[in-house]
Amino acid sequence: MGLGNRLTDDVGLIGEVFTRKMRFNTTAGLDIDEPGQMVWDETAETVDILLSNGSNIPVKAHIGQDTFYYVKADDTITRGQVVYAYGTEGASGHILARRFTADGTNDSRRVLGLAAKDATTGDFFHVLHFGKLRTIDTTDYTAGDILFADPSTAGGLTPTLPSAPNNIVTVAFALNKKNNGTLVVRPTFGAKLSQNEEVSISNPQNGDILVYNSATGVWVNQAP
C-alpha cells in the first residue's frame, strides 16, 4: 500500500505482524479503553499503552515518561497511597506490597511509589515509581509542595518534613491544587548515619561521639 492509500478504520489481524517501521497518527486525538491498546498522546507527546483496567481508573502508561512496578497486594490499598515491598511470594518472583508508614519501622529503601489503582489483598496492581499520577485529588496541597511519606498514617502523604527517627522519604510533589490534580512521583530516600560509606558504627552507646580514624579512613564511634 502506498503512502497515498491510508486506512482510516480499524483493522483486525490474527497472528504475528512483521514490519520495519510503525507510524502512529499524531493528530487523530484517539483514546484507549482496553488493555494492550496503544495510541499517540498529543498532550504528552508520546505513545500511550493501557496496562490494565483498574477497579476505578485505567492504568495508562506514557512510554518513556512513566515507570511502574507490577506487584501483588498484601494489604488493602487505595489509589495514590504510598506502598513498599513487604516481601516476596515464595519462588514466584512476585513482589508483595503493603502501605508504608514512615515511623521508622521499615527500611526507606523498600518504598516503591504510589499505587496506580485500588487493590485488596491478593490483587495484582501497578505502582507508579516515576512519572505523573493524574486525576488525583490535590486540594490538600499547594502547587509545588514536596510530599513525604507520612509517619502517622499508613500509605499517607504529608507536606510536613518528618523528624528523626521517622523515615524521611520524599515521594512526590504536587503539580497543582485541584480535585482532578496531578502528582509528580519520584521517590528519594534519606539514609541512616550507619549506612554512610565513610562511617563505621559498632554497638553504639548513649553519649558516643564520632572520631576520624586516619588509618582506616572512616569515622568510628567511641566514648568521649
Whole-number pLDDT of residue 8 = 65
Whole-number pLDDT of residue 168 = 95
Whole-number pLDDT of residue 4 = 52
What is the percent of the chain with per-residue pLDDT over 90, rounded to a whole number? 71
pLDDT at 55 over 60: no
Please, which residues bridge with residue 52 across strands? 59
* pLDDT, greater one: 32 or 69: 69
Whole-number average pLDDT of the chain: 90
Q: What's the rounded Cα separation, in Å, for the pair 42 and 19? A: 24
pLDDT tens digits along 154-174: 999 999 999 989 999 999 999
Closest CA to 24 of 38, 44, 10: 38
Single-letter amino acid, residue 125? F
DSSP string, 79-91: TT-EEEEEEE-TT
Helices then strands, each counted (H, E), the chain: 0, 15
* pLDDT, greater one: 2 or 12: 12
Whole-number pLDDT of residue 35 = 83
Question: Length of the chain, please?
Answer: 224
